[in-house]
Amino acid sequence: MGCASIAKRLMIPAIQGLPEYFELAAIGSRTSGKAEEFSKAFGVEGIVGYENLLKRQDIEAIYMPLPTGLHEEWITRCLEAGKHLLVEKSFAMDLGSAMRLIEMAKERELTLMENFMFRHHSQHNFTWEMLREKKLGEIRVFRSQFGFPPLDKDNFRYDKAAGGGALLDAGAYTVKASQWFLGQGLEVISATLYLDPVTGVDIFGNVSLISRDNIVAQLSFGFDNFYQCNYEFWGSRGRLLAERAFTPKPAERPKILLEQQGERIVQELEPDNHFMNILKELHRSVAERDGSRHLEDILDQSRILTAIQDTAIKIKL
């Protein structure tokens, strides 16, 4: 549902690369031009109008790469039509919206997932192993950065009504990484968002969170930055840095730096397709009727993002 760049470049090829799990039945677009373009590119029916996609009785699940500002309307309509969903981040504009949609999914016993595919890349197994084995000692701080140079000004990320802004886009990855590694229940210590004077959206920002175990996460993100895409653990006996934490390409061999006293190791890891992996998890969740963990993750992520939005110092550039 939607002809976004990520769908064309990565998600639709991943769907079609898993014929034992999925059959791509149709692609829905707002415009006939995009519907025709995607239809020819992927050899399936192009449907004009999202509502017409929902009328198809042979469609069980929908991948939704629409802007966040459109999510509440179209997730609601998908759930009412009995469809399982994989939704691009950020899931909702605020916590209230997320809660309403999660309740609908529970009532209808439908799988609802947010597409943070990076969690399903095998490179992070190395990080978890280092943490389990206490190779870093006691963790003193977690850091994460995700930012990139300015985008075209007509990009939806600069449209406030569409759910634009660096926090809900790049920043959401750093929040999700914190939630994943440090556990649910993170609280906001401080937050600063820098606003574009023309569009009003936040174009970069910094956030500090604290976990239930009193570990601090320091996060930075933006649309006006030198490219960074990492997370780092600094401990009492070592440091670990994942250099390409969120966006490794399917054929790329990601590298993780491990430093201990007098020793520096760059661990090159196997390529992996986290787009295919999250799709397999979608299939498993639907087949086993086991989506409660995904709903809990969505709810906690939305809670943190809303708390950041509500408490942040906002500075107009």
Predicted confidence (pLDDT) per residue in 13-69, tens digit: 999 999 999 999 999 999 999 999 999 999 999 999 999 999 999 999 999 999 999
Which residues constitute the domain of residue 100?
5-117
Residues 312 and 301 both lie in one domain? yes
Residues 131 and 44 both lie in one domain? no
Angstrom distance (rounded) from CA 45 to CA 252: 32
Residues 200 and 211 both lie in one domain? yes
Buried b (16+ CB within 10 A) or exposed e, 144-160: bbbbbeeeeeeebbbbe
Give the model confidence (pLDDT) of 127-139 as tens digits.
999 999 999 999 9
pLDDT for the residue 74: 98
281 within a domain of the structure (yes/no): no
Residues 129 and 101 both lie in one domain? no
Q: 265: exposed, middle or buried (C-beta count within 10 Å: 0-12, 13-18, 19+)?
A: exposed
Read off the CATH number of the domain in which 299 is found: 3.30.360.10
Residues 101 and 207 both lie in one domain? no
The one-letter amino acid code at 39 reads: S
283 within a domain of the structure (yes/no): no
Buried b (16+ CB within 10 A) or exposed e, 72-110: bebbeebbebebbbbbbbbbbbbbebbeebbebbeeeeb
The verdict on whether 135 is a catalytic residue reads no
99 within a domain of the structure (yes/no): yes
Residues 102 and 171 both lie in one domain? no
Residues 65 and 127 both lie in one domain? no
Residues 165 and 261 both lie in one domain? yes
Residues 111 and 235 both lie in one domain? no
Residues 69 and 24 both lie in one domain? yes
Tokens of 1: 């549902």
Residues 108 and 156 both lie in one domain? no
Q: Per-residue pLDDT for 153 more than 90?
A: no
Q: Per-residue pLDDT for 149 more than 90?
A: yes
Looking at the 3D structure of the chain, how many domains does it have?
2
pLDDT for the residue 70: 97
pLDDT for the residue 180: 97
304 within a domain of the structure (yes/no): yes
Read off the CATH number of the domain in which 90 is found: 3.40.50.720
What secondary structure letter does DSSP report for 117? G
pLDDT for the residue 291: 87
Give the model confidence (pLDDT) of 65-114 as tens digits.
999 999 999 999 999 999 999 999 999 999 999 999 999 999 999 999 99
307 within a domain of the structure (yes/no): yes
Give the model confidence (pLDDT) of 180-197 as tens digits.
999 999 999 999 999 999
The one-letter amino acid code at 205 reads: G
The last residue of one of the domains, among 101, 117, 133, is 117
pTM: 0.96
Angstrom distance (rounded) from CA 74 to CA 52: 12
| Mean pLDDT, all residues of the chain | 97
280 within a domain of the structure (yes/no): no
The last residue of one of the domains, among 117, 144, 174, is 117
The last residue of one of the domains, among 117, 142, 160, is 117
Residues 144 and 230 both lie in one domain? yes
Q: Per-residue pLDDT for 290 more than 90?
A: yes
134 within a domain of the structure (yes/no): yes
Q: Given 8, 34, 83, 89, which residue is catalytic?
A: 89
